[in-house]
Amino acid sequence: MSTFTTSDGTEIYYKDWGTGRPVVFSHGWPLNADAWDGQARLVAEHGFRAVAHDRRGHGRSGQPWQGNHMDRYADDLAELIEALDLREAVLVGHSTGGGEVTRYIGRHGTERVSKVVLLGAVPPLMLRTEDNPEGTPKDVFDGIRAGVESDRSQFYWDLSESFYGFNRPGAAVSEGMRRQFWLWSMQVGLKGAYDCVAQFSETDFTEDLARIDVPTLVAHGDDDQIVPIGAAAHRTAKLVENATLKVYPGAPHGLVGDYEKAFNDDLLNFLRG
């Protein structure tokens, strides 16, 4: 396996496929780099270099007690980019990974970055506050923490349904995708999984978004039950100067079916543009 060790001693696993301009993928919670395999293979087959890592605490990376917070996630990404000496990179983040990418730019700038893709991403802020009335109430996230603590196996299995929109009338349910989601989720350590909930829900990325000065694709399904589009993509697209908003009608949070095909086409077109 390809790994590197961060400055705080945590081993981070990553995939490195193909050659060419680097495209760096950051995954959502509670998954790992495998969630990006379809897109990583796609871009590698079309002349790009695909790099995807498992966030600390997730997948095949180390499970440290410390450092399970957004600043450290962003610094891990920065150290990976520096370790591989990636330049003119396109950063692609889904869900929590979109927060990771955004915080990376907030902390490290765009010297090594040429473009950004935020897919179903959590910025600018998921939590409902007085200034963010379209956000999600805190008791929803408290429920996530309770589910992870009490019976994470059942919780992840149940979460897979709304993640892919399989609970919608007429949805083509894939038992295999639900099992795959469960398997990936069960690989994240309990400490890392629990800590990450506050990070994706309570982190305010508004100032980080203002630092993005490269072309940015903000892509989101308008039936996203995990990261509702109103408090996320619609606001992000207004905060990022060079943003293009792409809304997928009826699409859920997780890439599936025709939604995945549409995003793949948009991703390739954006990379080539």
* Whether the Cβ atoms of residue 197 and residue 144 lie closer than 8 Å to each other: yes
Q: How far from the centroid of its chain's Cα atoms is residue 15's Cα?
A: 16
The one catalytic residue in 27, 58, 108, 253 is 253
* Whether the Cβ atoms of residue 229 and residue 200 lie closer than 8 Å to each other: no
The one catalytic residue in 34, 75, 208, 224 is 224
Q: What is the mean pLDDT of the chain?
A: 98
- For 20-53, what is each residue's pLDDT tens digit? 999 999 999 999 999 999 999 999 999 999 999 9
- Phi first, then psi: give them for residue 232, nearest 5 degrees: -115, -95
Q: Is 142 a catalytic residue?
A: no
Q: What is the pLDDT of residue 1?
A: 78
One-letter identity of residue 19: T
Q: What is the pLDDT of residue 226?
A: 98
- For 108-157, what is each residue's pLDDT tens digit? 999 999 999 999 999 999 999 999 999 999 999 999 999 999 999 999 99
The one catalytic residue in 26, 61, 95, 160 is 95
Q: Is 58 a catalytic residue?
A: no
What is the distance between the alpha carbons of residues 4 and 258, in angstroms, rounded to a whole number? 36
- In order of their start, the domains of the chain are 2-272 (3.40.50.1820)
What is the distance between the alpha carbons of residues 55 and 29, in angstroms, rounded to a whole number? 9
Q: How far from the centroid of its chain's Cα atoms is residue 211's Cα?
A: 19
User: pTM higher than 0.85, yes or no?
Assistant: yes
